[in-house]
Chain A
Amino acid sequence: MRYVSPIVIAEITCLITAILLVWKDRNVFWKVITCYIAIALGTELYAIYLASKHIHNLWLFNIFLIFESSTILYGLYCCLKQYTTPKPIFLIGSGVVYLTYFIFLFTHPFTDPNTLTISVMSVFFTLYCLYYYYLLLKDENFINIKTHPEFWWVTGVLFYYFGSTMSNIFDGLFSVKIIGVATLRYCIYVLLNLILYSLWVYSFICRMKQRKLHS
Chain B
Amino acid sequence: MQNETTKIALLVAVSTLVFLLMPVFLILYIRSYNRHKKNHFLEKQNMQQRFDSEILQTRIEVQDQTMQSIATELHDNVGQLLSLTTLTLNSVNLNDAEKAKRKIENSLSLVNKSIKELRELAKLLHGEQLVENGIGHAIDQEINWLGKAGTYELKTNNLLTDSQLVSPDKDLIILRLLQEIINNVIKHAQATYIQIDSYLEDGALHLKVTENGIGFNPDEINAKKAGMGLNSIYKRIEMINGKLALNSAPGKGTSIAIEIPYP
Contacts and interface: CB of A to CB of B under 8 A. Distances in A.
A100 interface: no
Contacts of A165: 15, 19
B5 A142 contact: no
Contacts of A164: 16
Interface of A: 133, 136-137, 141-145, 155, 158-159, 162-167, 170, 173-176, 184-185, 188, 195
Q: Taking chain B's interface residues, is the majority helix, strand, or loop, or is none over half, making it mixed?
A: helix
A162 B21 CA distance: 10
Interface string B216-232: 00000000000000000
A133 B30 CA distance: 8
Interface in B1-37: 5-6, 8-9, 11-13, 15-16, 19-20, 22-23, 26-27, 30-31, 33-34, 37
B26 A133 contact: yes
23 contacts: A137-B33, A137-B34, A137-B37, A142-B34, A142-B38, A144-B38, A145-B31, A145-B34, A158-B26, A159-B20, A159-B23, A163-B19, A163-B23, A164-B16, A166-B12, A166-B16, A167-B16, A173-B8, A174-B5, A174-B8, A175-B5, A184-B13, A188-B16
Nearest to B8: A174
A162 B8 contact: no
Contacts of A188: 12-13, 16
B193 interface: no
Contact of A184 (B9, B26, B34, B37): B9
B7 to A, nearest CB: 9
Contacts of B6: 174, 176
A170 B30 contact: no
A188 B13 CA distance: 8
